[in-house]
Amino acid sequence: MNNNIFNAQEIDKQANQIWDAQNVYQVEINHNKPKYYVLDMFPYPSGAGLHVGHPLGYVFSDIQARYKRMQGFNVLHPMGFDAFGLPAEQYAIQTGQHPAITTKKNIETFKKQLAKIGFSFDWSREVITCDPSYYKHTQWIFLQLFNAWYDNNENKAKSIDELKTIFTQSGNTTINAACGDDSLYFTAEEWNNYDALQQQQVLMQYRLAYQSEAMVNWCPELGTVLANDEVVNGVSERGGFPVIRQKMTQWFLRITAYADRLLQGLDTLDWSHAMKEMQRNWIGKSKGASVKFPLQNHDGNIEVFTTRVDTIFGVSFLVIAPEHELVQKITTNEYKNEVETYILNTSKKSDIERQAEVKESNGQFTGAFVLHPFTQEKIPVYIADYVLASYGTGAVMAVPSGDQRDFLFAKKYNLPIIPILDAQQNLEVEADATKEGKYINSDFINGMDYQAATDLLIAKLEALGLGKGKIQFKMRDAGYSRQRYWGEPFPIYYDENGLIHTVDKLPVELPEVSSYKPTGTGESPLANATKWVHQFGENTRMETDTMPGYAGSSWYFLRYMDAHNNNAIASKESLNYWQSVDFYVGGNEHAVGHLLYSRFWHKFLYDLGIVPTQEPFQKMVNQGMIQGRSLLTKDGQINGLAAGLHIPIELTQNDKISKANFEELQTKDNRFENIDLNKDVNWEEKDGEQFLTLQAQVEKMSKSLLNVVNPDDIINEYGADTFRMYEMFLGPIDASKPWDTNGISGVYNFLRKFWRLFFDDEGNQKYTTNKASEEELKIVHKCIKKITEDIERLSFNTCISSFMIAVNDYGKIKQANQEALELLLKLMSPFAPHITETLWHKIGHQESIVNATFPICDESYLVENTITYPVQINGKLRANIQVDANASKEEVEKLALNDEQVLKYIENKTPKKVIVVPNKIVNIVL
Ligand code: ANZ
């Protein structure tokens, strides 16, 4: 067989051989080239393998990586696996199979699938987060966080040893630190008199990785703590068992210390506006004030956080969260029972549910009162679940004339509604805070506007010692404990006195356990590994929780820089050379998870002097979803079965299912088992064939909807380049778009046509080695210009159309020339690496096209070199003639008079006059 005949599978094979033989994708530090770091969000290797939606982003970033490489950049383009996670653990619980084994198997499947698509990954830098040689460093970073505190004055993290020294010298009176307890105050003497446990407790308020009590979703029936998204309407998603909110000691990361820097850093990033807004909202910076309302009959105050201190003269009651620490103390005997019941009911609701019920806010009076800081009036204190314990101070001053929830609450419990602005004299409608108008009902801000009133109030409160201006963030510290097996163990153990010790010899490896199930006491399965738990002595105990999914993914991009370094996360040299990611591609579902945690860790490592940059991801592109195109039965097609049943798409063709395939369906899907093919199905018929035409519906691509398209199938049939180009051709990268297998043959045919510029269908050489014609060069350079512009604005879908146009234009040329075709090969190689590599080789190149230089447009080919002259005879347009742009007046006249059309009108007459207006028109007067 002539091996110059187009054969997609052969093409893929040959290209891969060249890449393997030349090891083209391995990259090393090279100080003679500028670096460029292109990164994909690494996948979780699920058991289901890849569907066509997954590689969309990878194809996109691969084009960028190849393009930059050809432009002379030293490109780092790695891939790895985010390999800890729940599915492997759940599978282990069901089957007893160790998660490490399933994970390894899944990774192999993923790699096989990825290899088929022709990505330019440097696999020598592969990172797998569940590998002890990797998580050793994840544990190390955790220890750095544990051993650090945040100095608000210098705005950076510092060593906890330094803090201890300060404490021994001057207590905590001189520092301005991120601290879990605002009221903490001690002198050097007090510090020095604390015992080890007390000192440990104090330091916990400062550490960037710390332990604290926290509310968790505890499911007694399942014996485990659940994540928020595992709880639906107060019951467990799995099993539907009751879930209660309960306090448990957990590890946290003090991400809030970095809130302002995380906010400011966004301004320096080339991310979409939407992504930045998601982070801004999540961080949620509010400027306001904290105000203390002295308690009646008790010492102390209730401190509220308000963004509208200007409404303080409209306060008619206070609401505190049911979990607020003062509730027990201030509730009077008369209301004890009601308050208890209310608290119990609240514990069953999630924060989201608690905030959703705006319309029917209800609460419970505690019997207690506070005093208004200015009027000294008695103000009743309620508890209500719409006030969250975890935000602000967990207490609000309620202003029915300013806030809608407060208004509804006041109506319900008959509490006073005091207007605060002159525009609000008759308050009958639901209130919503406005800043318009002049204040009334107060003794000293009457007549002022919003800003003046706010400033004056804060000053007065400060003078009274009852309040101050305050910045509040929505973002909470990040929970860092999971009661799971398949995660990083903490390098931490406790001694018999409850003192915490760090394990310095890393990694702390996951122990073998007999069961992956939670223990039923809220502890993780690691608690069952008795020997491991007591490895540092009979009376010591390892921390048995594991780290959360985001631990390993918060720094993996650094590891690729120096993936085999055993002593550090990466060498100084590689960190300094590769700096940070230049081009990051991934889904926007990670906006406030992974992307926020990574930025936080990166800033922390920057503070320690480990990384040279403040931000990990300079530019970010979010790919849209590829949706599935499902096929469903229509009305009346199958007697006895409702319409709208999903049919597996692999059993259909052109939206139809044949009788033969229907038989196969019956063996696979019991919904169809008992259908009598001859009686119950109303077949359509054409050319003796029986079939059903199904209805198409675009929805999520998912196994359960039977609409999953496996890239392997497409590649086996059409080759990898058709797959790659088709993925790009579907539309703009950030748009959601349906996968429609029916459209794929267009791209396939285009690639065959492209091949035919080089070799015909018998495999004979088509191209020449003569000099390229102007026309050819014009086609190519026009294409270079368009492609370069489109790549630069990341519009890869329009690139595909430009290639199609160029190849069509070539169709008009009998034989194309090698020189011009080579430009086209290079131009197309980032998109269709296999076919271009194979052809590159066939026309005589030894070295891979991967290392070729990306073509540059020569604009001189684009200049129009002919001019069209309209020819008028006695004032009437009679013809158009093409003339060389450099032709003289005489030449133009001669061409006009010899034009066939013109000659017809002249009819052997001799023109009286011929006027040539250069570059414009020819006038002939007869
Ligand atoms: C009085 C007031 C009057 C308020 C008014 C608003 C309008 P953001 O922007 O979200 O920070 N609040 C404070 N802590 C709360 C908590 N733990 N749970 C629920 N609500 C809480 O909003 C801050 C405002 O939300 C605060 O300002 C407080 O109500 C309420 F016309 O105080 B305001």
- For residue 317, CA distances in Å to 300, 314, 365, 415 come to 17, 9, 10, 8
| Torsion sign across C-alpha atoms 98, 101, 105, 106 | positive
| Minimal-distance CA residue to ligand 1 atom 10 | 286
- If you measure from the C-alpha of residue 357 to the centroid of ligand 1, how many angstroms do you get, rounded to a whole number? 16
Whose Cα sits closest to atom 7 in ligand 1?
403
Q: Which phi and psi angles does 299 have, rounded to 5°?
A: -75, 160
pLDDT band for position 1 (cuts 50, 70, 90): low
485 three-state secondary structure: coil
* Token digits of residue 105: 């198997």
Tell whether ligand 1 has an atom less than 6 A from the beta carbon of residue 433.
Answer: yes
CA–CA separation, 79 and 65 (whole Å): 13
The whole-number pLDDT of residue 884 equals: 85
DSSP strand pairing (866-873 vs 921-925): parallel
Q: Is the beta carbon of 142 within 6 A of some atom in ligand 1?
A: no
Question: Can you tell me which atom of ligand 1 is nearest the CA of 402?
Answer: 31
- Dihedral (Cα; 486, 489, 494, 498), 10-degree rounding: -60
For ligand 1, say whether the CB of 311 is within 6 Å of any of its atoms. yes
Q: Beta strands of 731-826 (E only): which ranges?
A: 737-738
Count Cα atoms within 13 angstroms, Cβ side, for 109: 18
Cβ–ligand 1 distance for 435 under 6 Å, the answer no
* Position in ligand 1 atom list of the atom nearest CA 433: 31
Q: Which of 285, 307, 471 to mutate to test the pocket of ligand 1 (most atoms within 8 A of CB)?
A: 307
The CA 276 to ligand 1 mean position distance, Å, reads 24
CA of 309 to the centre of ligand 1 (A): 10
List pLDDT tens digits, range 416-469: 999 888 877 666 666 677 778 888 888 789 989 899 999 999 999 999 999 999
- Whether ligand 1 lies within 6 angstroms of the CB of 606 is answered as no
Is the CB of residue 645 below 6 angstroms from any atom belonging to ligand 1?
A: no
Predicted confidence (pLDDT) at residue 137 exceeds the cutoff of 90: yes
Q: Which residues of 620-629 are buried (b: 16+ CB within 10 A; e: fewer)?
A: bbbbbbbbbb
DSSP 116-184: TTT----GGG-EETTSHHHHHHHHHHHHHHHTEEEETTTTEEEEHHHHHHHHHHHTTSS--B--S-TT-
- Per-residue pLDDT for 358 more than 60? no
Q: Provide mean pLDDT across the span 204-231.
A: 85
Test site for ligand 1: of 280, 287, 306, 420, most ligand atoms within 8 A of the Cβ: 306
310 CA distance to ligand 1 centroid (A)?
12
Residue 587 pLDDT more than 70?
Answer: yes
**Nearest atom in ligand 1 to 399's CA:** 3
Region 185-209: mean pLDDT is 97
Indicate if ligand 1 lies below 6 Å from the C-beta of 361: no
Protein residue with least CA distance to atom 22, ligand 1:
307
Q: How far is CA 588 from CA 57, 95, 313, 847, in A?
A: 12, 34, 44, 39
Cβ(472) – ligand 1 distance below 6 Å = yes
| pLDDT, tens digit, 9 for 90 and up, residues 689-723 | 999 999 999 998 888 899 988 999 999 999 999 99
Q: Is the CB of 522 within 6 Å of ligand 1?
A: no
From ligand 1's centre to the CA of 306, what distance in Å?
5
pTM of this structure: 0.86
CA of 399 to the centre of ligand 1 (A): 10
If we measure between CA atoms, which residue out of 733, 726, 776 comes closest to residue 751?
726
Decide: 540 and 495 in contact? Cβ < 8 Å.
yes
Kindly report the three-state secondary structure assignment for every residue of 752-767: HHHHHCCECCCCCECC
Which atom belonging to ligand 1 lies closest to the Cα atom of 431?
A: 31
Q: Is the pLDDT of residue 634 over 70?
A: yes
Pocket test for ligand 1, best of 361, 391, 476 (most atoms within 8 A of CB): 391
- The answer to whether the CB of 392 is under 6 A from ligand 1 is yes
Nearest atom in ligand 1 to 311's CA: 3
Banded pLDDT at 146 (limits 50, 70, 90) = very high
Asked whether residue 77 carries a pLDDT value surpassing 70, the answer given is yes
What's the burial of 560, exposed, middle or buried (CB within 10 Å: 0-12/13-18/19+)? buried
305 C-alpha to ligand 1 centroid (Å): 7
Cα 679 to middle of ligand 1, angstroms = 67
Q: Measured from the CB, is residue 387 less than 6 Å from ligand 1?
A: yes
397 lines ligand 1 (CB under 6 A): yes
Q: Which of 118, 7, 113 is nearest to 717 (CA)?
A: 7
Write the residue with the smallest CA distance to atom 31 of ligand 1: 402
Is residue 331 in contact with ligand 1, taking CB distance under 6 Å? no
The finding on whether 308 has its CB within 6 A of some atom of ligand 1 is yes
The tokens of 311 are what? 């409404």
The pLDDT tens digits for 490-549 are 999 999 999 999 999 999 999 999 888 877 787 889 999 999 999 999 999 999 999 999
| Confidence at residue 359, expressed as pLDDT on a 0 to 100 scale | 60
CA of 876 to the centre of ligand 1 (A): 80
Find out whether 744 and 726 touch, Cβ atoms under 8 Å: yes
Distance from the alpha carbon of residue 177 to the mean position of ligand 1, in angstroms? 26
Backbone angles phi, psi at 288, to 5 degrees: -165, -145
Asked whether the beta carbons of 8 and 716 are under 8 A apart, the reply is: no
d(CA 860, CA 857): 9
Residue with the smallest CA separation from ligand 1 atom 8 is 286
Q: Is 286 in the pocket of ligand 1 (CB under 6 A)?
A: yes
pLDDT over 60 at 412, yes or no: yes
Q: Which atom of ligand 1 is nearest to the CA of 401?
A: 31
Decide whether any atom of ligand 1 lies within 6 Å of the 402 Cβ.
yes
CA of 150 to the centre of ligand 1 (A): 28
Q: Is the CB of 576 under 6 A from ligand 1?
A: no
In eight-state DSSP terms, residue 681 is B
Residue nearest atom 28 of ligand 1, based on CA coordinates: 306
CA of 432, closest atom in ligand 1:
31
Q: How confident is the model at residue 165 (pLDDT cuts 50, 70, 90)?
A: very high
In this structure, the number of other CB atoms found within 10 A of the CB of residue 755 comes to 22
* pLDDT reported for residue 426: 67
656 forms beta bridges with 653, 693
Please give the pLDDT value at position 373: 96
Nearest atom within ligand 1 for CA of residue 314 = 3
**pLDDT in the model for residue 224:** 75
Banded model confidence at residue 360, pLDDT cuts 50, 70, 90: low
Mapping DSSP onto H, E and C, the string for 301-352 reads: EEEEEECCHHHHHHCCEEEECCCCCCHHHHCCHHHHHHHHHHHHHHCCCCHH
pLDDT given for residue 784 in this prediction? 97
Residue 392 CA, ligand 1 centroid: distance in Å: 8
Tell me how far the alpha carbon of residue 356 lies from the centroid of ligand 1, in angstroms.
15
Contact 569, 555 (CB under 8 A): yes
Pocket test for ligand 1, best of 396, 399, 473 (most atoms within 8 A of CB): 396
For ligand 1, atom 26: residue with the closest CA:
306
Mean pLDDT value across residues 307-315:
95
Question: Can you give the pLDDT at residue 357?
Answer: 57
405 lines ligand 1 (CB under 6 A): no
Query: Which residue puts its alpha carbon closest to atom 32 of ligand 1?
Result: 306
Query: Is residue 388 in contact with ligand 1, taking CB distance under 6 Å?
Result: yes
Q: Determine if ligand 1 sits within 6 Å of the CB of residue 391.
A: yes
Provide mean pLDDT across the span 744-764: 95
- Quick check: 50 pLDDT over 90? no
Substitution site in 281, 283, 290, 308 for ligand 1 pocket (most atoms within 8 Å of beta carbon): 308
Dig out the tokens for 595 from the structure.
């992307």
Contact 518, 104 (CB under 8 A): no
Greater confidence (276 vs 885) lies with 276
Q: Which of 608, 334, 312, 344 is nearest to 441 (CA)?
A: 312
| CA-closest candidate to residue 260, choices 388, 389, 142, 156 | 156
Judge whether residue 344 has pLDDT over 60. yes
Please tell me if the CB atom of residue 394 comes closer than 6 angstroms to any atom of ligand 1. yes
